[in-house]
């Protein structure tokens, strides 16, 4: 749970707040992750890059930096299925495709689609459901290409303000879009969306832009203004500072998740849907924090 997935211990030549864009330079992401499994208090840890039923990856290719998060649907546990198996396998497959160069930076939906259909054709039976968010930084074009299915998501922060973000996809309250693999007898009765249904976007980034990618365990417990307050503590672009800030954000969300008197974003959303709910939402929390920097091999 306290393990950190790090990537790109690069010499970042950027300044927080952004610099003018120079077309001739390649960009990269300096990234770190931190998270908690919902059953952290029981001392139950999972191997690999999973926090509870969440999973994530950070991968590098000569053409792009790619990262992703996925949130396994916990309801499968009632049927004897470990929800982390689906989300973890999905993210590992995405990571492998990137490292093998089997992707196009301008098409993150393609990464998700290819990975999902590989899972469907897997000879080893795999059941479960998951949301997913894929973020790609194209080094040369300086474009952030994204695909988001469900209620995980990302923020792009520049000059202390959110300048771009993902759109949440919900069928109805607390029922996000999701990829699924169901047993044959349950097909048609299990909610399953196409990876092509993911919301995609393209955004020009600048040196020093901050990109926060996370599962709903963060966004359900911390509103934007709290996240922005934590990001103000990020004073430079070295890996250690990024990792410490990711840790601080995840820890605050984890504390708020167990506060019965806190009016969390999730509780507010529930009230907007006619439910009398108060408090945080105990959940797995995964935070990937990245800064756009000049690429150095």
- CA atoms of 168 and 145, how far apart (whole Å): 16
- CA atoms of 95 and 81, how far apart (whole Å): 23
Give the class (CATH, top level) of 24-214+228-247+284-294: alpha beta
- Kindly give, in sequence order, each residue whose CB lies less than 8 Å from that of residue 290, ignoring residues fewer than 6 positions away: 29, 30, 31, 65, 67, 210, 211, 212, 213, 242
pLDDT tens for the chain, 297 residues: list them. 444 444 444 434 444 444 444 558 999 999 999 999 986 543 333 445 689 999 999 999 999 999 999 999 999 999 999 999 999 999 999 999 999 999 999 999 999 999 999 999 987 789 999 999 999 999 999 999 999 999 999 999 999 999 999 999 999 999 999 999 998 887 778 899 999 999 999 999 999 999 999 999 999 999 999 999 999 999 888 999 999 999 999 999 999 999 999 999 999 999 999 999 999 999 999 999 999 999 987
Three-class DSSP category at 113: helix
- CA atoms of 104 and 39, how far apart (whole Å): 37
Q: Model's pTM, two decimal places?
A: 0.90
């Amino acid at each position: 749970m306290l393990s950190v997935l790090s990537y790109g211990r690069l010499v970042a030549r950027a300044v927080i707040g952004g610099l003018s864009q120079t077309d001739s330079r390649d960009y990269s992401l300096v990234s770190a992750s931190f998270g908690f499994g919902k059953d952290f208090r029981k001392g139950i840890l999972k191997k690999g890059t999973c926090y509870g039923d969440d999973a994530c990856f950070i991968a590098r290719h000569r053409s792009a930096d790619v990262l992703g998060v996925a949130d396994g649907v916990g309801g499968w546990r009632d049927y004897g299925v470990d929800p982390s198996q689906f989300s973890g396998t999905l993210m590992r497959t995405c990571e492998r495709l990137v490292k093998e160069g089997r992707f196009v930076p301008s098409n993150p939906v393609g990464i998700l689609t290819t990975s999902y259909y590989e899972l469907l054709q897997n000879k080893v039976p795999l059941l479960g459901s998951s949301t997913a968010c894929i973020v790609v930084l194209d080094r040369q074009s300086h474009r952030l290409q994204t695909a988001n299915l469900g209620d995980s998501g990302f923020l792009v922060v520049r000059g202390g303000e959110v300048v771009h973000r993902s759109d949440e996809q919900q069928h109805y309250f607390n029922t996000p879009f999701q990829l699924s693999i169901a047993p044959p007898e349950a097909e048609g009765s299990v909610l399953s969306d196409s990876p092509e249904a993911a919301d995609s976007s393209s955004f020009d980034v600048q040196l020093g832009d901050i990109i926060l990618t996370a599962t709903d365990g963060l966004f359900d417990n911390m509103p934007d203004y709290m996240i922005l307050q934590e990001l103000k503590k990020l004073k430079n672009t070295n890996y250690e500072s990024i990792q410490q800030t990711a840790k601080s954000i995840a820890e605050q969300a984890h504390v708020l998740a167990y506060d019965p008197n806190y009016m969390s974003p999730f509780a507010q959303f529930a009230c907007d849907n006619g439910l009398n709910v108060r408090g945080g939402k105990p959940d797995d929390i995964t935070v990937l924090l990245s800064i756009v920097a000049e690429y150095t091999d």
